[in-house]
Each structure stands twice: as C-alpha cells, then as structure tokens.
Amino acid sequence: MREKPVSDFQAIADRVEIEALRGEFTDAVMMRDRARLSSLFTPDGALRMPNIPAEMVGREQIRTEGERLQSQWDFFVQTTHAGTIQLDGDTATGRAYIQELARTHDGRQGLNYAIYHDRYQRTGDGWKFTERVYEIRYLDTSPLAGSAPPAAGAPADPPAGDKDAAQRQR
C-alpha cells in the first residue's frame, strides 16, 4: 500500500487555487473589470494573444490594452473549461480551454474555441499568472443568430469580499 505524503494536501490546495485563478480571469473579463484582471498577474506578467494580435507585459499594460480591446465589443461571452496543471514547487504550468462568442461594434463576430497556455507563480498573495498565451484552435465568423439583450440596471452583486467592485457600483 502506497502512503501519500502530507505534501499531497498542498498539491490539492495549489490546484484548487490555480483553478480559481483561471475562473477569476474569466469573471474579470466578462465583468470588464480590467483592474481586477491585471491584479491576477505578477507585476511583470504577460498576456500574449498572437491571433488578435496583442501583447501586453506588466499590469498597467494589461489593464490599459484590455480597456482598448474591450471598448470594441458589442458583447463578449467567455467560458473556461478545466485543463491541465503541472506543479513544480512555487511555479506551475497549465492549459485552460476556452469557448467565446463575440461581436464588435464594427460588426465583426464569431464563435471560437481556444487554449490558454499558462505559467503560474506562487506569491505572497497566492498564485498569479506570469504568462498567458492565447491560441485559437477553431474560428467561425459566420453571422451569430443571437444578440446581447439591452442593458438592464446594475450588474449582479460582486463576488464576496470584492469591496472595490461594490464601490464601483455606487
């Protein structure tokens, strides 16, 4: 019978925290919360999207370029699906699988399936992205049948403990 070392509990905790980080990324994108999005990266972290093309290095550039890109959207929906995580002490690598629907104000639209190739770093504030590289695997630019509903009032309550989002809603 193989004994599992206590460190297996740490590996489980690390995987849960990294999966939560990936979920926070998608939520920040969907809520257009660029400050929160940039905070998910190390100070010198990078977000690279060669298919767009866009490359952002550092939290400030991730925030400002994110604002520019998101200002072009009529609507954008992203879902993240669990991928892989390989732990190596205080660093890790992984992949997250993405599905997106989008329409820009100039009429470009589509459905795509993509992969984020990730690098993570354990910090004093938990796991952060050091790099995300976006790779589109399938792109369908045929007209979308649906549309975004008209904006209706305030967004839903922010995640528990997100005091900055609560302040922005006031």
Is the residue at 77 inside a domain? yes
At residue 153, the pLDDT reads 65
Classify residue 30: in a domain, yes or no.
Answer: yes
Give Cβ neighbours of residue 91 (< 8 Å, ≥ 6 apart). Answer: 119, 120, 121, 122, 130
Query: What global pTM score does this model have?
Result: 0.82
In this structure, is residue 160 part of a structural domain?
no
Q: How far apart are CA 35 and CA 98, in angstroms?
A: 22
In which element (H, E) is residue 109 found? strand 109-123
Domain of residue 45 covers 7-147
Q: Given this model, what pLDDT does residue 42 score?
A: 98
Q: Considering the domain boundaries, does residue 89 fall inside one?
A: yes
Q: Is residue 24 helix, strand or coil?
A: helix
| CATH, residue 106 | 3.10.450.50
Residue 168 inside a domain? The answer is no
Nearest by Cα to 28 from 18, 15, 40 = 40
Q: Could you tell me if residue 14 is inside a domain?
A: yes
**How many structural domains are present in the chain?**
1
Low-confidence ranges of the chain (pLDDT < 70): 1-7, 152-170
Distance of CA 118 to the CA centre of its chain: 10
Backbone Cα Rg of the chain: 17
Flag whether 163 is in a domain.
no
Evaluate whether residue 90 is within a structural domain. yes
